[in-house]
Amino acid sequence: MILDSKIPEGPLAEKWSKHKFNVKLVNPANKRKYDVIVVGTGLAGASAAASLAELGYNVKAFCFQDSPRRAHSIAAQGGINAAKNYQNDGDSVYRLFYDTIKGGDYRAREANVYRLAEVSVNIIDQCVAQGVPFAREYGGLLANRSFGGAQVSRTFYARGQTGQQLLLGAYSALSRQVANGKVKLYPRTEMMDVVLVDGKARGIVTRNLITGAIESHSAHAVLLCTGGYGNVFFLSTNAMGSNVTAAWRAHKKGALMANPCFTQIHPTCIPVSGDHQSKLTLMSESLRNDGRVWVPATKETADKLRKGQIQANDIKEEDRDYFLERKYPSFGNLVPRDVASRNAKYVCDEGRGVNETGEAVFLDFRDAIIRDGKNVIEAKYGNLFDMYQQITGEDPYKVPMMIYPAVHYTMGGLWVDYNLMTNIPGLYALGEANFSDHGANRLGASALMQGLADGYFVIPYTIGDYLAQTPSTKIASDHPEFQKAEKEVKDRIQKLLGIKGDKTVDHFHKKLGKIMWEYCGMARNEEGLKKAKAMIKELKSEFWSNVKVLGENEELNQSLEKAHRVADFIELGELMVDDALNRNESCGGHFREEYQTPEGEALRDDENFAYVAAWKYLGEGQEEELVKEPLKFENVKLTQRSYK
């Protein structure tokens, strides 16, 4: 199988402009003849649905929440990148492109990343026009702050709630189209399968989460904007409802899953406090602008701290190790997330962790408060400090925050070409659901940028190229392929309900999460990955013979919802392990312990692994087939990443 990424010819800076001119168009009168399904209404889904409806297409938008306002995009805190160079500090479209390619450890497509940087400047204008209340400087210009992996200030923000404000902007645009009758919204509805007719995506099968009704919806194209799969680890910063089911159903229908082992560990999360937790809380990376990361310089001091014999503020300056500033003087606390996370793990493994479990480091604002005053810090981060105090009971204005890495974002996802189409004609993936822009490690504040770029500025052009070549004839939702898919969904539901085992769905999810975190988390090695694969196979067998799913289908049944999602997570977990085993190198968030530099940094193997690993599903119980898309670098030089 050969993958055609459809990257346009010509110089990098001209590819997107030329492509927009060369794609086929659907004239305004014909757009109203086409139906488009959008699954997911976060930043990518809401912006895509609103934009396509504005163009004249008939859109059906589906979300499992009661409102698009509850999409997990709301949880993003720190900001959104754009190369506007308001700070006049040397930023440019090319520098944003370069930082993103480098940050992703040279495992992303040049053309996609350059386009992302190019349209980033338009996103800010779009959002300001929608009323997003970005922070502003005294003179009225939009303010910027720094994020990890960059030496310029290019991150636009709305205090610590940027995701929420951007989502409200997209939601207002979506609501306008709902009121106009161009978008039909289906809340509390979950996609259970994608339907192919003559090899093309022509609709989906859904389950109404209130009544349990199984329904079919047909369209000319299907857009999956369903986010990432970080909850495969059980504990993550994702909302508890975030899942992989839509993407995994598409994968089992033939869509390739690319780079699934590329998951991002965020360095700035509130540490795990016990087995009672169902999720972890993210503290924005923007805090690393002013907060200094440190641990005691010696294990002995850390022991006293953990035993309560001394407090953090008792430790003298010379007895503190600001390990990121020491190891990476050029970037300091603003190194990329994978580097910051691994180094936090190293110092905790040495026995210098600062909480009772020994798995935490300090993020200290003492110096910033002395330098700028409490009022300035409160204006920048007040809601984040309040959130931390409510969760931990400690006042970060007076004592250092405690943080530790946690699973956050997934760079892997459905394989897509330059047009954001999967290898299944008519099936698109946008935002975190695809693999395309972040390589092996996403820079902070780039998720919001990609989701809105895909929805507002990419898909409106590229979907027209496909629809212009697709007859406007509609397919009835009682077509045999829809009936077949509905039967498969109903059979799967009955199978789950009929097991009547004695272990809860959460029991299996927690077990899977522990396997994934232990053996395919911040660090991996061949022995551990092989062990994990065997353990996941065993877990899958136990799940399908001993899971306890309460209730019936014809009702609100969250036990059944979870069972579907966890069944898919188990299968995804096995593929993630296979992908990590296949990639005999370290890059970005994928850190194989066998492959590291003498300084403990990720050691790539560009000669053998400069490719996208796209996996093809071959059937139940069969090993998946690896399909490679070679990555060509014509504009950047492949170098060992250094932030020193």
* pLDDT at 642 (0 to 100): 85
b/e map 101-119, b = 16+ CB within 10 Å: bbbbbbbbbbbbbbbbbbb
Active site amino acids: 337
The list of the chain residues with pLDDT below 70 reads: none
pTM (two decimals): 0.97
Give the pLDDT of residue 599.
87
Burial of 259 (0-12, 13-18, 19+ CB in 10 A): buried
pLDDT of residue 239: 94
List, edge to edge, every strand of the sheet that includes 427-429: 183-186, 58-62, 35-39, 221-224, 427-429
Full DSSP string of 47-107:
HHHHHHHHHT-EEEEE-SSSSGGGSGGGG--S-EE----TT-SS--HHHHHHHHHHHTTT-
3-state secondary structure of 339: helix
Name the DSSP letter for residue 402.
Answer: E
pLDDT in tens, 206-228: 999 999 999 999 999 999 999 99
Model confidence over 592-606: pLDDT tens digits?
999 999 988 999 999
Residue with tokens 């997990």: 72
Q: Would you state the structure tokens that stand for residue 352, as one six-digit string?
A: 């210098």
Chain CA centroid to CA 285, Å: 15
Tokens of 521: 């988390």
Contact (CB, 8 A) for 100 and 108 = yes
Determine the Cα–Cα distance for residues 163 and 348; give it in Å rounded to an integer: 31
Structure confidence at residue 148 (pLDDT): 87
pLDDT value of residue 287: 94
